[in-house]
Amino acid sequence: MTLRVVLGVSGGIAAYKACELLRRFTESGHDVTVVPTAAALEFVGAPTWAALSGKPVATDVWSDVHEVPHVRIGQAADLVVVAPATADLLAKAAHGLADDLLTNTLLTARCPVVFAPAMHTEMWEHPATQANVATLRQRGSVVIEPAEGRLTGADTGKGRLPDPAEIFELALAVLERGGTGLDLAGRKVVVSAGGTREPIDPVRFLGNRSSGLQGYALARAAASRGAHVTLISANVSLPDPAGASVVRVETTAQLREAVLSATANADAVVMAAAPADFRPVSVSDAKIKKAHDGSSPSIELTQNPDILAEIAHDRARDGAVIVGFAAETGDGTGSVLDLGRAKLDRKGCDLLVVNDVSGGAVFGSSDNEAVILGADGTSVEVPRGSKSALAQVIWDEVARRFVG
C-alpha cells in the first residue's frame, strides 16, 4: 500500500543523512513530500530533495498558494517524520508556532508524527529542550532519543541523528500501530540481546549462535511505542536501534552487572539475550597450542549465574514485568512446550517466549515463531512472521500486565 509520507528536514548538519531516509521511503513505494526549512536548504539544496522525491520543494507558505499547501500537506499525510529535528524546530512545534511550511504542516497533521532530534549534547540536555520534548510526547508524538557518538567538530556525546535505516524501521512500526500505539509512553524498559562469550584464551571463547536480531527488534518496537529503552547488547554487529540507549557487554558476568544496574528503575525487563551457561574456571594468558602427540587440552567449566531467575525472584521494583526466552529443541524428558512450562515455573518470570530451535531454526533468521507462556496460565501462539511482528506481540502482553 502506498503511503503519503511527509519528510520534514530542519537546519542541522545531519540534514544530509535525511537523503538516505528519503530513499528508503521512496524505494519502498511510498509517496514522499519533502518539506525543508529555509535553514535546511543551507545544508542540502532544493534540487537534491526534488530529484530524490520526484516533487518540487518549498519552505514557505506562499508557493502554489491556490493549493493551500500549509493546510493540505498535513491533512493528507499518513505519517510525518522530521529528521533531523533541531532544538529550534522542537521548540516551535511544542509551542504551536507556524512561521514556515513545515511548522504549519505539523499543526495540521492528524497522523502519527515522529521527531528524530539531532543537536549538540548541551542543547539536548538543556531544560528548555527537555521540557519541549516532554510536551510533544505528552501530546502523542514520538520523539526518538538521539544516538551517542561523534558530533560536529571534535565533540562527542549524545545528540547524533540515529541511523537512517533505523529511523525508517521505527517510523514504519509507528505507522503500523497508528494513533493508539503509544501504550509504553513514559515506561522505562530494559532489553538484552545477543549472545555472551566466555574467553578460553586470548583468541578463543565459548559462545552461541544468537544474532541479536530479536532483541534489537524488541528495542525498536518499544521505542516506537514511546518507551525509554535501555538495550544491553552482547556481541552484536547491528546498527543501534533508533531511540535506544545501548550498553555493550561481552561476558555473562558483564551482562549480569549491566542488567542489575539497569533494572533498578525499569517497568519491564525482556531478557532476549542468550547467556552462556558455563565459563572456563581459568583463562589462559597465552594461546593454547596444539599438542604434537595429538592429545587435546582439558577445559574445566563452571556454571554461570542465572540472571533471569535472579531478577525474577529478587525484583528491584514492585510491579515490574519480567520476560524470559527459552530456546528449546525437546528431548526425551518432554516436548518443547513441556520444557518451556517447566522453565517458566523454575525461573519465576511473568512471561516466557518459547522458541523451537531444532535444526538451528531462528538463529540469524529475519523470521520467528513462538509461544508466549504466562505465569497466569495464558498461552499465546505467534505464527511464523517477522521478528518485528513477534516483538509487538510480546509488548502487547507486557503492556497488559502493567499495574497503574
Indicate which residues carry an active-site annotation.
208
Task: Give the integer Cα–Cα distance in Å for 8 and 106.
Answer: 9
Q: Which long-range contacts (CB under 8 A, 24 or more apart) does 149-158 make?
A: 151/120, 151/121, 152/13, 152/120, 155/120, 155/121, 157/120, 157/121, 158/121, 158/124, 158/125
The set of residues, in sequence order, having a beta carbon less than 8 Å from that of 276 and lying 6+ positions away, is 195, 196, 197, 198, 206, 207, 208, 251, 252, 304
Rg (CA), the chain: 24
Q: Which residues touch 60 (CB under 8 Å, ≥6 apart)?
A: 38, 100, 101
For residue 162, give the amino acid letter. P
3-state secondary structure of 363: coil
Side chain identity, residue 148: E
How far is the C-alpha of 151 from the C-alpha of 169, rounded, in Å? 23
Q: Is 180 helix (H, G, I), strand (E, B) or coil?
A: helix
Count of residues making up the chain: 404
Q: Which three cell numbers stand for residue 50?
A: 526534488
